[in-house]
Structure 1
Amino acid sequence: MIEIEFEEPNIYDCECCSNKTVRLTRFVYKDDDAYAVYYCQYTIGHKDKVVTGVISLGEWWEESVSPERVAFPFRIWTDESNYQIGLMDKEDCIWKDIEILGNMLDREVALKHKWIKEVFQLTDHIVDEDQYIIDYLE
């Protein structure tokens, strides 16, 4: 069973427009074990309503180190009736230099990775349970 620990958001002024940017840090547990971390960001008032994020899967207990993890950058947006999820290249990810996330994958490599199904299962949980993201996209 997947459980997400919701931290309070970090809110600051956007550099390009001074609107409020929201950054979220979430810790994910599977069967009570540390399983993943994800970060998301969006800016209220930007023309395009898009959430950018990264999911880091792998070993997340205290003794683990970043080479035991793999990071998948993504975007979430909506069309007229559904959430849309798309992977993106690491160069487009604002967290590309955060070593603790592990080996950050480009889109084409990520789509072939053995954990891709788990990534999309987790994004399903994000759009079902992360109220900040749900409220922003609706």
Structure 2
Amino acid sequence: MNIKVFLSGGMNESNWQQEVINLVGKDGYVYFNPREHLLSKSNEYTMWDLFYVKNCDVVFAYMEKDNPSGFGLTLEIGYAAAMGKRIILVDEKSSFDNKFEQKFKIVRESSSIVFDNFSAGINFLKNLRNGISTL
């Protein structure tokens, strides 16, 4: 059985979503990558995102330290949490921005597990397939 993963987070130049796919691999995983839908109207991409959050097994959410807001990620985590989805949050921004950290605590608390760096989140996601990591 494949683990269906929704990739939640910023859409900046880093293309972190492809990095997740490359590092974790496709064997045993199916990815729902918002970067690939190419929708530009907010009502369309919001519907797409929420549809795939609903249909995933795990949300891998990445709050990069240079993400200007995290509004979309916050919506997706809240929706996923309300549906009882497993949420892996990588929050790099809170350790650099105290004001952000205070406001983002509710998102961290809504997640199943939180990491402060990308590599740790990737390793956890990789190990889900092997039954080593559990949520």
TM-score, normalised by the number of residues in structure 1: 0.26
User: Which one has a bigger Cα radius of gyration?
Assistant: 1
Which structure shows the bigger proportion of residues in strand conformation? 1
Give the structure-2-normalised TM-score. Answer: 0.26
